[in-house]
């Protein structure tokens, strides 16, 4: 399918399904964005590409340089907090990744560049999109995202609360696995 045809379909989709309220709609949106990015083949919007890939794999074993750098930053923040005896919960890189702020910025740029409606990135719509995306990604780990971390994943508990987990290759201080989060809905 040609790029203009995909953009036309995406415009119709965004006008009809914002905010998306089902997993299949979030996956469709990301896959169609990925198709446009493949047509352009210019390396722009790497997080949009990464999340589109991640949502359709049972595990993410091929890690992009950008995700590797993000996870390395989170890893460093954790170790710095452990060494300083500080709580680990509001570190900037961790919060940025979990809030998907950078993905939101990229998605805004992508939608605006292609003349597509961008109401999906408005606060309430974004929170709904994010909640569905986290549930899609649950139990689809990023394996070996950087040296020292064996796995990053989202998991859901029996109540449907989402948690993020980092499993270390080697035990840092007191953690083998560090679990954080635990809300029914993400509210940043």
DSSP string, 60-77: B-S--HHHHHHHHHHHHH
Q: Looking at per-residue confidence, does 180 or 40 come out higher?
A: 40
Tell me the pTM.
0.84
Mean pLDDT of 135-161: 88
Contact 48, 26 (CB under 8 A): no
* pLDDT score, position 55: 93
* pLDDT score, position 174: 53
User: In whole angstroms, what is the distance from residue 88 CA to residue 174 CA?
Assistant: 12
* pLDDT score, position 185: 47
pLDDT tens digit sequence for 56-114: 999 999 988 888 888 888 888 877 877 777 776 666 777 777 788 889 999 999 999 99
pLDDT tens digit sequence for 7-49: 999 999 999 999 999 999 999 999 999 999 999 999 899 999 9
DSSP string, the chain: --HHHHHHHHHHHHHHSSS--SHHHHHHHHHHHHHHHHHH-S---HHHHHHHHHTTSSSB-S--HHHHHHHHHHHHHHHHHHHHT--SS--HHHHHHHHTHHHHHHHHHHHHHTT---GGGSHHHHHHHHHHHHHHHBT--EEEEETTEEEEEEEE-TT--EEEEEEESS--TT-SEEEEEEESS---
* pLDDT score, position 187: 40
Give the chain's largest Cα–Cα span: 55
């Amino acid at each position: 399918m040609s790029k203009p045809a995909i953009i036309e379909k995406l415009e119709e989709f965004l006008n009809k399904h914002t905010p998306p309220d089902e997993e299949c709609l979030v996956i469709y949106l990301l896959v169609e964005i990925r198709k446009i990015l493949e047509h352009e083949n210019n390396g722009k919007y790497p997080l949009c590409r990464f999340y589109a890939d991640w949502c359709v794999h049972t595990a993410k074993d091929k890690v992009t340089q950008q995700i590797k750098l993000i996870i390395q930053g989170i890893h460093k923040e954790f170790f710095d907090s452990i060494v300083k005896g500080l709580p680990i919960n509001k570190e900037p890189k961790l919060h940025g990744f979990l809030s998907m702020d950078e993905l939101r910025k990229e998605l805004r740029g992508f939608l605006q560049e292609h003349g597509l409606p961008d109401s999906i990135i408005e606060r309430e719509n974004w929170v709904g999109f994010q909640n569905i995306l986290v549930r899609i990604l649950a139990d689809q780990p990023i394996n070996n995202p950087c040296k020292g971390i064996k796995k990053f994943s989202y998991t859901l508990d029996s109540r449907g609360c989402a948690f993020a987990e980092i499993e270390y290759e080697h035990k840092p201080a007191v953690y083998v696995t560090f679990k954080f989060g635990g809300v029914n809905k993400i509210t940043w």
